[in-house]
Amino acid sequence: MKINKPKAVRVRKSLSGLVMSLVLLFCSTGLSRAQDSSKVKPRKNVIRFNLTNPMFFGEKSLHVGYERVIGKHMSASINGGQASFPKADISVFDFDSTQIVLNKDYIDFGFTFALDYRFYLKKENKYNAPHGVYIGPYYSLTHFERENNWSMTSPLFTGNVKTNFNATIQMMGIEMGYQFILWKRVALDFILIGPGVTFYKIKTKINTQLDSEGTGELLSALKDALSSRVPGFNTLVEDMEFEKSGSTNTMSMGFRYVIHLGFNF
């Protein structure tokens, strides 16, 4: 027994050393994991670009936005940029013996501004904001100004005509959509359902010596051009009469649909 005692002691020491080594290994592994997880912070910001407006209103309608997460399941965003009134599909309008030609020189100005507040549905999402299904209120303001020069030839008048058209569109409602976060950085946002109330304020002015008949023909041509390019404008002006100089206020139901491409950081 005396001979085997040192071996037992050595075995116990070896086992205790092995256990301590394993404990230290697990502790160091857990500590390193804790340190790594502490370095990974939630990405609460999204900068994005509106893909929808250039398709509808042309390449001059460029909008950018910023979304900020203010809770695990809430965020707020602000969007804005340049807005441009669409060009007419055709530049020559013929009415019996009257021809109206749209000149290439024009003055164009416009801007848009939008706010929304999003509630990312906790029960429907396995991710925190800004990833998943959301619903919330929104408000948007869009303003267009366009000054055009026309050349008009008719039995009663031949010369140049200048028109001024201003439109301010305000919309508020409720939106619902889904935002994907792809490859941990790329944000693809779809506002799928956005019904709301739209308020229009439209001003028109014509600088010319045209009589009432010629003025009516010119404004009818303008109405046709706008209706062919602006979504929903045909419904707006269906029962509305343009005047030579004046403004019109009206209200209707609207709809918001937007696709954003962004970067999550």
- Tell me: the pLDDT tens digits for 217-229? 666 666 665 555 5
- Nearest to 102, CA basis, from 226, 204, 236, 213: 226
Confidence at residue 148, expressed as pLDDT on a 0 to 100 scale: 79
Question: What is the 8-class DSSP label of residue 130?
Answer: T
257 or 214, which is more confident: 257
Whole-Å CA distances, 214 to 100, 102, 149, 244, 245: 10, 15, 15, 11, 14
Task: With H, G, I as helix, E, B as strand and everything else as coil, classify residue 206.
Answer: strand
| Residue 185 φ then ψ, to 5° | -135, -35
Q: How many helices (H) and strands (E) does the chain have?
A: 4, 11
d(CA 26, CA 15): 16
Confidence at residue 8, expressed as pLDDT on a 0 to 100 scale: 45
Task: With H, G, I as helix, E, B as strand and everything else as coil, classify residue 19.
Answer: helix
- Nearest to 63, CA basis, from 107, 111, 109, 117: 111
Confidence at residue 149, expressed as pLDDT on a 0 to 100 scale: 81
Q: What percent of the chain has pLDDT over 70?
A: 63
Q: What is the mean pLDDT of residues 9-15?
A: 49
Mean pLDDT estimate for the chain: 76
Q: Compute the radius of gyration of the chain from its Cα atoms.
A: 32
d(CA 138, CA 227): 26
- Give the model's confidence band at 158: pLDDT under 50 very low, under 70 low, under 90 confident, else very high: confident
Q: What is the mean pLDDT of residues 181-187?
A: 94
- The distance of Cα 46 from the centroid of its chain, to the nearest Å, equals 13
Q: What is the mean pLDDT of residues 9-23?
A: 49
Residue written as token pair 């026309």: 150
Helices (H), 119-262: 212-229, 233-237
Task: With H, G, I as helix, E, B as strand and everything else as coil, classify residue 13.
Answer: helix
Question: What is the 8-class DSSP label of residue 131?
Answer: S
pLDDT at 173 over 80: yes
Enter the pTM of the model.
0.71
Bond prior to 130 in cis (omega within 30° of 0):
yes
The H or E element containing residue 199 is: strand 195-207
Task: With H, G, I as helix, E, B as strand and everything else as coil, classify residue 22.
Answer: helix
Question: What is the 8-class DSSP label of residue 87?
Answer: P
240 or 48, which is more confident: 48
pLDDT at 53 over 80: yes
Q: Which two tokens stand for residue 84?
A: 């441009």
